[in-house]
Amino acid sequence: MDHLPVEVLTSEEIEKIVEEKIRKRSAEMQQPDTEIKAEIAILRAQIAELTGRVNELSASPLSKAPVPPTFEDALRSELGGLAELLEIRSQPNQVTLRPRKYLGTQDFRSVSDAVRRHGGFWSSMNRAFIIRRGRT
C-alpha cells in the first residue's frame, strides 16, 4: 500500500492563507477594508479555538492546553482599530459597546455589522451596542 505525503500546516500558515484568500476575494467584490479586517479577526479567533481544542485532545493529563481568547478579546480583535473608538464593558449577561465619540456612517456600520454577527443590536435609548451573553 502506497502512502501519500501529508503536509502539516501551522495555525500561522493557515491564517496567512485564509487572509490572502479573503483579501483577494474582497478586492474582487470591492469590500471595505474594515470588513476585511473583521472577517480576518473572526477567522483567527476560530482557528485559535480549533487549535486549542486539538491541543486539549492531544495533551497529556499533566500538560495544560492554551487558554482560548475570551469573547471580549475576540470582539476587540474583530473590530481592529475601531475598538479604540468604543468603551467595551463586560457584564455577566451582556457586553456593551459605547462609542467614545461620533463614529460616522462607515465606522458605525462596520461596528454594527460586527455586533449583529454576534446577535447584538444598537440601542438608541442607551446609545450603545448590546450583545446578550445567551446568544453568543
* Span 12-67, pLDDT tens digits: 787 888 788 777 776 666 655 666 666 777 777 777 666 665 555 455 455 555 56
Nearest Cα neighbor of 71 from 115, 112, 34 is: 115
pTM here is 0.49
Nearest Cα neighbor of 72 from 62, 50, 87 is: 87
| Per-residue pLDDT at 132 | 86
Secondary structure letter of residue 5 according to DSSP: -
Give Cβ neighbours of residue 64 (< 8 Å, ≥ 6 apart).
none
| Per-residue pLDDT at 117 | 86
| Per-residue pLDDT at 51 | 65
The runs of H, that is alpha helices, within the chain are 11-29, 33-58, 71-79, 104-117
Distance in Å from the first CA to the final CA of the chain = 47
- What tens digit of pLDDT does each residue of 56-108 get? 545 545 555 556 667 777 788 888 888 888 888 888 888 889 999 888 889 89
Across 104-127, average pLDDT: 89
| Per-residue pLDDT at 76 | 82
125, pLDDT greater than 80 = yes
All three cell numbers of 109, joined, read 456600520
Enumerate the domain spans of the chain. 11-135
Instruction: Specify the higher pLDDT residue, 30 or 125.
Output: 125
The count of other CB atoms within 10 Å of the CB of residue 116 is 13
| Per-residue pLDDT at 53 | 57
| Per-residue pLDDT at 22 | 74
Q: Are 39 and 114 in contact (CB under 8 A)?
A: no
